[in-house]
Amino acid sequence: MKISILGTGGWGLALGKTLCENGHEVVLWTPSTEEARLLAVEKENKDKLPGVGLPSELVYLSNMAEATEDADMLIFAVPSQFMESTAKQLGECKTPEKVPLVVSATKGISEDSLKRMSEIVLSHVKWLSEEEIAVFSGPTHAEEVARSVYTAIVVASKSEICAKIIQDTFSSKTLRVYTSQDVVGVELCGSVKNVMAIASGIIDGLEFGVGDNTKAALITRGQAEICRLGGALGASQRTFAGLAGIGDLIVTCMSHHSRNRFVGEQIGRGKALSEVLSGMKMVAEGVPTARSAYALAKKHGVEMPIVNAIYEVLFEQKNPREAIEELMTRELKAE
């Protein structure tokens, strides 16, 4: 297949490497002509995937129309903040003679519209239908996928045929792909777990009064909050017990690769959010998603005390320890 990947961050490059090794023709798009040139020459991105050599067969282009021409499959792997502008740019390209299958591998919820990433794509790419788009999520740190660490992931689409084609395209000896039809649940899990990862990092950053017990409680009760929001939005509860749900939540809250956990850890150590973000080379999706999840919970009347607490810590300068104490002393209730 000819596959176009929009985005040359760690995740886009890891997916490009995986698909190239599976025998596909892969083109990666970046809006930066200079970045395209450097990737083609150096065959490595030392900032986003240090120590990972990229296949020489990968092609890098900065022209959207050229990068997506005649593609059989098109993958969005840009940060959520750039999904709308990227989808809009794709939508402005001429209607393709053959409509490619489209995969959103981006995790997040729009701060402005509260739309999921697949909804943003569909709103701007008019030649695409709901049966031709899928979403990709699960416990998949790019740093490990790029190094062929054994990994499992979920692809969800309303079309079983679409999901099966994508499953066959990505699957390898080290990447096992499962299918689902719960697009809402898979996208929601992949987004809100990043907020919980910030909370997990705060626990790691505090010096006393927290430990493994605290983190286990956070993950469990955080999962309950994500399930409640999913139920209000029509997601399948089964999804939250799977790879896209508890699987991704565990790895994002526990792994040293997690940028969101890192952000929380630095805040737990007393740094301001602006200071932490200014020192990062990659995007921590949990920060904007904290706003979106907070707004979604309010909109649908869903109780999400952990999300509310993280929102207050990030954007209202609440002391993290005070936030934990308030969570612990809420009105007692049955589980």
Q: What phi and psi, each to the nearest 5 degrees, are found at residue 160?
A: -65, -35
Q: Residue with structure tokens 């393709």? A: 96
Q: Rounded distance, CA 36 to CA 119, Å?
A: 28
Per-residue pLDDT, 95 = 84
pLDDT digits (tens, 9 = 90+) for 280-331: 887 889 999 999 999 999 999 999 999 999 999 999 999 999 999 999 999 9
Per-residue pLDDT, 97 = 85
| Fold of domain 185-328 | N-(1-d-carboxylethyl)-l-norvaline Dehydrogenase; domain 2 (1.10.1040)
* pTM, 2 dp: 0.94
| Fold of domain 2-181 | Rossmann fold (3.40.50)
Per-residue pLDDT, 56 = 96
Per-residue pLDDT, 282 = 79
Do residues 218 and 306 make contact, with C-beta atoms less than 8 angstroms apart? Answer: yes
Q: Rounded distance, CA 284 to CA 80, Å?
A: 10
Low-confidence ranges of the chain (pLDDT < 50): none
Q: Rounded distance, CA 45 to CA 10, Å?
A: 8
Q: Domains of the chain: which residue ranges?
A: 2-181, 185-328
Clarify whether 193 is annotated catalytic.
Answer: yes
Count of H-run helices and E-run strands, the chain: 16, 8
Per-residue pLDDT, 90 = 96
Point out the catalytic residue in the list 193, 215, 298, 333.
193
DSSP string, 180-199: ES-HHHHHHHHHHHHHHHHH
By DSSP bridging, strand 59-61 and strand 133-137 are unpaired
